[in-house]
Amino acid sequence: MTARHGGRGGLLPAALEHARSGTSREPEAWAPRVAAAAGLPAAAGLGPATYFADLAAPRGERHVRLCTAAACFAARGGRHLAEVERALGVGVGTVDEAGSTSLQAVHCLGYCYAGPAALDGTSPRAGPDVADQLGGRTEPRAPGIPATDTTGAPVLLAGIAGGQSAWDVWRSVVTGLNPEDVQEEIVASGLRGRGGAGFPVADKWAAAAGKADTIVVANGDEGDPGSYADRLLMEEDPERVLAGLALACFACGARRGTVLVRSEYPKALVRLRRAVERATGAGDLAPSVEESGPRPFVEIVEGAGSYVAGEETALIARLEGARGCARPRPPYPTDHGLWDMPTVVNNVETLAAVPWILAHGGASYARRGVPHETGTKLVCLSERFARPGAYEVELGTPVDEIVTRFGGGPKGDGELVALQIGGPLGGFLSATALDVPLTTAALSERGVALGHAGMVAFGADIDPYELLGHIWEFAADESCGACSPCRVGTRRGLELAQRQDGPGESYGRLARLMGEASLCAFGRRVPAAVRSLARAYGPPLEAWER
């Protein structure tokens, strides 16, 4: 509570990260001192320092983060982890005796199209020989994201594929329209959040509009393994993200905006900060809160390694310097958010659509996609596809068309057995059940959530039992622990997945408890994702279809 209401907790994230980078010792040795320097109790420092993976993980002079998420797991069946351990001479989650090298397992680095992947410090390495790259036996590689527009009139790729300037839209809006005009266009567009929840953007903006001290937060903590859409936008067209944020601030009457970027995206952090400097110099953004008005002041904040911290209330807790745990609602962030001020949280991809909508009109956007789910979506295809990359498609495009026509089907002579959509909590479809339009409603009928719409292909070389264990391990690792159904349920689920004789009769009760009583969508979605996996693989996992 001190961190939340005292106003000093906001200094903690950067101070804790600075302290962590200078030592290989456990958080207990340095976090209390950081808190004391900020005038806070020891618990205010120990809480986040022992919660966030980037702070809690042992760190040597050379710190390597290795992706073990779905796409990288599928690329090599998980074998790359042991290969990297041997190449570096250090086990995952440890630092060598000399304190020179440490290895941390993370759940996504946004290189799903070229994995397995690692970050050597802040330098990316990607490819099937990632262990050799890290060991110095081959040249390091980190290919850029292949991005393709399939619509003929890109919205999200308007800058990357079409060369259109988002700041030109901002300048025309701020000089020629008022906030109500912008809100009306967003209402007409039918734009929904692209971070997974699909909440109408206009409703969220209206809930905060006109309230004093409103803040708009761009959520760049894209945690769904299999998706790299936000990384693409933040790295290759940061101006579009910032212009969308500025337009949201203008519509909501907010003088301040914040972009939270995953620490796993170091290039995105650099490029966004440079883009803010350029926009401030050009007069599009304000140099300080005191000088803000129609032009907002925008700051870039780095995350610290947590999947659940992408949930809006957990993200706000992170920005306040606390553990990134989900909070009960109500109150909603639009009433009591960051530092108790009204706060609008929109995903990066959501905001990137706003400049196009304001340039072409909400009605034009609404004609794209399908009724009630309008517009376009960036769909990310994993390394196991013949043509991996990010594709902008209209909502309603059949999944099998995306897989076969755009992705080219499975790589080489591989066989597609199951397709994961929307990350670990999205769900799975069997290769024979891809005749479904890419919409939230249609996928929900199949027991799958759209999420960020990342698609990870799994072939016949992947053991379904190992994949089941992988899902439960992810859930147990990333549960924030704020509620018992999820905290205990994910650990118990992992124990059951590791048994040789199936989950047993108790699993049905566990799944119902998690699905009905968990605090946030993380815990509620885990049993549904497992059920979809069981349906996709059939008899081998049928005991888990409960």
Asked whether 128 and 89 are in contact (CB, 8 A), the reply is no
pLDDT of amino acid 262? 93
Q: Which of 374, 344, 449 is nearest to 155 (CA)?
A: 374
pLDDT of amino acid 5? 40
227 shares its domain with 323 = yes
173 shares its domain with 222 = yes
Q: What is the pLDDT of residues 438-477, one digit of tens each?
A: 999 999 999 999 999 999 999 999 999 999 999 999 999 9
435 vs 453: CA distance, rounded Å:
16
pLDDT of amino acid 265? 96
Report if residue 337 sits inside a domain: yes
pLDDT of amino acid 424? 86
Task: Name the DSSP class of 195.
Answer: S
pLDDT band of residue 9 (cuts 50, 70, 90) is low
User: How much of the chain, in percent, has pLDDT values that exceed 70?
Assistant: 98
Q: Which of 423, 458, 493 is the last residue of a domain?
A: 458
134 vs 142: CA distance, rounded Å:
12
Cα distances from 446 to residues 124, 178, 217, 401, 533, in angstroms, run: 36, 42, 32, 17, 11
Q: What is the pLDDT of residues 330-343, one digit of tens each?
A: 999 999 999 999 99
| Position 429 pLDDT exceeds 80 | yes
Give the three-state DSSP class for 197: coil
Report if residue 399 sits inside a domain: yes
Asked whether 303 and 318 are in contact (CB, 8 A), the reply is yes
250 shares its domain with 391 = no
DSSP sequence for 394-443: ETT-BHHHIIIIIT-SBSTT--EEEEEESSTTT-EEETT---SBSSHHHH
Report if residue 140 sits inside a domain: no
CATH of the domain at 286: 3.40.50.11540
207 shares its domain with 296 = yes
- The 10 Å Cβ neighbour count of residue 508 is 13
Count, residues in the chain: 546
41 shares its domain with 101 = no
Q: Could you give the number of structural domains in the chain?
A: 5
Report if residue 356 sits inside a domain: yes
226 shares its domain with 337 = yes
pLDDT of amino acid 210? 86
Sign of CA dihedral 167, 173, 179, 182: negative
Axis crossing angle, helix 484-497 with helix 521-537, rounded to the nearest 10:
30
Average pLDDT of span 393-417: 96
Average pLDDT of span 180-204: 94
209 shares its domain with 301 = yes
Mean pLDDT score of the chain: 93
Average pLDDT of span 3-21: 69
217 shares its domain with 337 = yes
Backbone angles phi, psi at 258, to 5 degrees: -135, 140
Report if residue 372 sits inside a domain: no
Report if residue 454 sits inside a domain: yes
Q: Which of 123, 308, 330 is nearest to 221 (CA)?
A: 308
* Tokens 């517009």, located at residue: 375
Q: Which of 107, 134, 161 is the last residue of a domain?
A: 134
pLDDT of amino acid 305? 86
| Position 394 pLDDT exceeds 80 | yes
Both tokens of 94, joined, read: 């440890």
Asked whether 447 and 528 are in contact (CB, 8 A), the reply is yes
Report if residue 139 sits inside a domain: no
142 vs 124: CA distance, rounded Å:
6
Report if residue 57 sits inside a domain: no
Q: What is the pLDDT of residues 270-309, one digit of tens each?
A: 999 999 999 999 999 999 999 998 999 999 999 988 888 8
| Position 8 pLDDT exceeds 50 | no
Average pLDDT of span 518-524: 92
194 shares its domain with 276 = yes
| Position 121 pLDDT exceeds 70 | yes
- Rounded to the nearest angstrom, the gap between the alpha carbon of residue 388 and the centroid of all alpha carbons in its chain is 19
193 vs 183: CA distance, rounded Å:
15
344 shares its domain with 384 = no
46 shares its domain with 68 = no
Asked whether 261 and 220 are in contact (CB, 8 A), the reply is yes
234 vs 238: CA distance, rounded Å:
5
Cis status, amide bond into 116, omega within 30 of 0: yes
Asked whether 426 and 351 are in contact (CB, 8 A), the reply is no
* Tokens 């309008």, located at residue: 374
pLDDT band of residue 162 (cuts 50, 70, 90) is confident
Range(s) of the domain holding residue 123: 62-134
Q: What is the pLDDT of residues 202-223, one digit of tens each?
A: 999 999 998 999 999 999 998 7
Q: Which long-range contacts (CB under 8 A, 24 or more apart) does 117-122 make?
A: 117/66, 117/67, 117/72, 117/142, 118/64, 118/65, 118/66, 118/67, 118/84, 119/64, 119/65, 119/264, 119/266, 120/62, 120/64, 121/62, 121/63, 121/64, 122/266, 122/267
272 shares its domain with 334 = yes
Q: What angle do CA 309, 314, 315 make, to 5 degrees?
A: 65
Q: Which of 308, 259, 275 is nearest to 521 (CA)?
A: 308
Task: Name the DSSP class of 200.
Answer: B
Strand-strand pairing, 215-220 and 343-347 = parallel
pLDDT of amino acid 226? 92
- The 10 Å Cβ neighbour count of residue 481 is 14
Q: Which of 11, 32, 51 is the last residue of a domain?
A: 51
CATH of the domain at 85: 3.40.30.10
